[in-house]
């Protein structure tokens, strides 16, 4: 039985003060939860988030990292720096990073390898555009993204991953993939993982759906056989909404 994991990707939202308020409001609402709960604030709020969530079921992740330890990479933050702050999860390859910041399958792979070396839990994001879906390319695109992201990983490393299927056309648009479509793609992803490792690992790893997940669609999504959690943007910014997802 895979333990569900609900992760909030706050994106470029919340000042440190706003982040602290959100966490304080969220904490009492999720004490009885049976799922893994992760919040991914901006880098600036991570230290406060780790401190405020200590002793609670809420874990903290980051939204990105560089794959090098240090060096002349102006504006970047390394995994080592984040690890020192006490994060446990790291989102890698979010479509907004691919779209606006030149993230490629190759950099995603380097970051995944680095995160695993640091004992961070990568949440690897994949997903197709609307054009790709309409041209029946979704399976090909997602399969390639997963294979490239996982290239060179050992079976044990693969078993520690979380993969988030996020169709780009569903992110922040209010359009959710139907639960059947989302489940179908998550099933393909599990097949690819099986090809790259084995059946038991494919059955063990958790696959999230992301894209306009809301309190009113979480239950149906989570009822699908291959969907083990959600990566949530907009609805993770309000304590009551995120708590409703966590307590679905």
| Residues acting as catalytic residues | 94, 166
Q: Which is nearer to ligand PGA, 73 or 101 (CB)?
A: 101
Minimum separation from the CB atom of position 76 to ligand PGA (A): 21
Judged by CB under 6 A, which of 192, 232, 245, 246 binds ligand PGA? 232
Helix 16-26 to helix 239-246 angle (10° resolution) is 50
Give the long-range contacts of residues 131-135, CB within 8 A, separation 24 or more: 133/167, 133/169
243 in Cβ contact with 226 (< 8 Å): no
Minimum separation from the CB atom of position 10 to ligand PGA (A): 10
Measured torsion, CA atoms of residues 176, 177, 182, 188, in degrees rounded to the nearest 10: -130
Q: What does the chain come to in residues?
A: 248
Query: Does residue 172 interact with ligand PGA by CB under 6 A?
Result: yes
| DSSP character at residue 66 | B
Query: Does residue 234 interact with ligand PGA by CB under 6 A?
Result: yes
Judged by CB under 6 A, which of 45, 78, 121, 212 binds ligand PGA? 212
- When CB distances to ligand PGA are compared, the closest residue is 233
Choices 22-30, 59-67, 144-152, 166-174; region in contact with ligand PGA by CB under 6 A:
166-174
Nearest in space to 204 (alpha carbons), one of 155, 237, 171, 241: 155
Judged by CB under 6 A, which of 82, 210, 218, 241 binds ligand PGA? 210
Judged by CB under 6 A, which of 4, 41, 61, 211 binds ligand PGA? 211
Judged by CB under 6 A, which of 82, 146, 177, 231 binds ligand PGA? 231
Q: Measured between alpha carbons, how far is residue 136 from residues 129, 140, 142, 162, 203 in Å? A: 11, 8, 11, 25, 26
Judged by CB under 6 A, which of 166, 190, 242, 243 binds ligand PGA? 166
Minimum separation from the CB atom of position 208 to ligand PGA (A): 9
Rounded Cα distance, 229 and 179, in Å: 12
- Considering only residues 20 to 59 of the shown chain, the ones binding ligand PGA according to CB under 6 A are none
Number of residues near ligand PGA (by CB under 6 A): 13
CB within 8 Å of 194: residues ≥ 6 apart:
201, 202
In the block, which residue shows the tokens 């190759």?
Answer: 106
Nearest in space to 44 (alpha carbons), one of 94, 81, 89, 99: 81
Q: Which is nearer to ligand PGA, 5 or 202 (CB)?
A: 5
Site residues for ligand PGA per CB under 6 A? 9, 166, 171-172, 210-213, 231-235
């Amino acid at each position: 039985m895979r333990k569900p994991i609900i992760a909030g990707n706050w994106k470029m939202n919340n000042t440190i003060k706003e982040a602290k308020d959100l966490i304080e409001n969220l904490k009492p609402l999720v004490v009885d939860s049976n799922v893994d709960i992760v919040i991914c604030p901006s880098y600036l709020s991570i230290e406060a988030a780790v401190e405020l969530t200590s002793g609670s079921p809420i874990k903290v992740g980051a939204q990105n990292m560089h794959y090098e330890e240090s060096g002349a990479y102006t504006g970047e933050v390394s995994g080592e720096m984040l690890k020192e702050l006490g994060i446990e999860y790291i989102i890698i390859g979010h479509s907004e990073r691919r779209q606006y910041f030149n993230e490629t399958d190759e950099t995603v792979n380097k970051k995944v390898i680095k995160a695993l070396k640091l004992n961070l839990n990568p949440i690897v994001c994949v997903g197709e555009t609307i054009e790709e879906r309409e041209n029946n390319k979704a399976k090909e695109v997602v399969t390639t993204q997963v294979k490239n992201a996982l290239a060179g990983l050992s079976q044990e490393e693969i078993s520690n991953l979380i993969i988030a299927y996020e169709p780009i056309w569903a992110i922040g648009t209010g359009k959710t993939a139907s639960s059947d479509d989302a489940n179908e793609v998550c099933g393909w992803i599990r097949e690819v993982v099986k090809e790259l490792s084995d059946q038991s690992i494919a059955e063990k790893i958790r696959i999230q759906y992301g894209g306009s997940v809301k309190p009113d669609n979480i239950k149906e999504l989570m009822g699908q056989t291959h969907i083990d959690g959600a990566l949530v943007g907009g609805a993770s910014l309000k304590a009551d909404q995120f708590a409703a997802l966590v307590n679905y």
